[in-house]
Amino acid sequence: MIEHVWYQKPWYRLPVMLLLAPLTLLFWLVSSCRRLAFRFGLLEAHKTLAPVIVVGNIGVGGNGKTPTVLALISLCEKLNIKVGVISRGYGGKAPHYPFRLNADTTPDIAGDEPVLIYQRTGVPVAVGPDRVACANLLTEQANCQLIISDDGLQHYRMQRASEIVVIDSKRRFGNGYLMPMGPLRELPKRLQQVDLIINNGGHALTLTDDAAKQVEMTLAPGALVHLKSNGEMDHDSFQQKHIQVNALAGIGDPQRFFDTLQALGFELVECKSLPDHHEFSAQDMAFTHPALPVLMTEKDAVKCKQFNHDNAWYLPVDACFSASDRGELTRIITRNIEEK
């Protein structure tokens, strides 16, 4: 898989890197020209009816954006701010765009992450390739005062009030190259222009003095939730019955999920690593030891509920910040409301 090239640097990958170099140069030229076109007004950036906070990254793959979005939603609710979420809806095929999620919306319509956010929080969520239209839809229909964009850092057609970048502290920037030689959509110097950098699971980066303010985030696992009944069980009670489990993950970094399970004390008998946004089938839920429980991420669970597996559970996680770092997030939210 291409991720082995991106996140490892063995010498025998060199021929592959050389083959991808011309495509990386082309990607750099196209993306640079596009960004300059927006900067100098050759392409128009559209203002939305409500201020937008973009939660994105400079690379591909899961870095912890969704837990960050959930944390921002929680802060907005505590501040009595009506908030909505917009997303591209990757992997979904809605009947029209922009599309506003409802209780019957499934991941094959709107994508896994938007459905997860809607089911977890109940806030207005809209998906579509035109994020400006999505944002305005939520403002007009749901009277949203603030819009959070799940990803979309490179969607320069949409003006934004603030930019938050989430970085996986373990994988960082991979080999440091732009796509397809590496995992980056923009170079690390882009971080000097954002409002806040969130380091998921680690310490702050060493950047230049004019880099954005940095905070640290950890992910705290909650109680296990039964896929079919939604019943909950704490880790200790679960392990008294089942210390050995099967595990599957179709996220950006499956190993992070497996490591979390092992840190909680589970013995992983069989693990399945699947691509991010994987379209699950019943066969994916089949393991060599079918009597053992199957543990998965909450993101994967929204796509696997249709299989009615009797012994499958998912592990929700919540973003945790120090009091001062949480205050920094609150300041970004309130600043955008006050400046509206």
61 is in an annotated binding site: yes
Task: Kindly tell me if the per-residue pLDDT of 206 is higher than 90.
Answer: no
- The larger pLDDT score, comparing residue 170 to residue 205, is at 170
59 is in an annotated binding site: yes
Residue-wise pLDDT for 238-283, tens only, equals 999 999 999 999 988 899 999 999 999 999 999 999 988 888 898 9
The residue-averaged pLDDT of 81-103 equals: 96
Q: In whole angstroms, give the CA distance from residue 276 to residue 328.
A: 30
One-letter amino acid for residue 189 of the chain:
K
Task: Kindly tell me if the per-residue pLDDT of 10 is higher than 70.
Answer: no
Q: Residue 279 has what pLDDT?
A: 87
Q: Residue 170 has what pLDDT?
A: 84
Least confident of 4-18, 54-68, 300-314: 4-18
CATH fold for domain 52-219+320-339: Rossmann fold (3.40.50)
Are 338 and 251 contacting, i.e. CB atoms less than 8 angstroms apart?
no
Q: Enter the pTM of the model.
A: 0.93
The residue-averaged pLDDT of 66-89 equals: 97
Q: Residue 2 has what pLDDT?
A: 64
Are 87 and 130 contacting, i.e. CB atoms less than 8 angstroms apart?
no
56 is in an annotated binding site: no
Task: Kindly tell me if the per-residue pLDDT of 209 is higher than 60.
Answer: no
63 is in an annotated binding site: yes
Residue ranges of domains in the chain: 52-219+320-339, 223-315
60 is in an annotated binding site: yes
Q: Residue 213 has what pLDDT?
A: 87
182 is in an annotated binding site: no
Residues with Cβ within 8 Å of residue 189, at least 6 apart in sequence: none
Q: Which helix (H) or strand (E) holds 272?
A: strand 267-273
Q: Residue 211 has what pLDDT?
A: 58
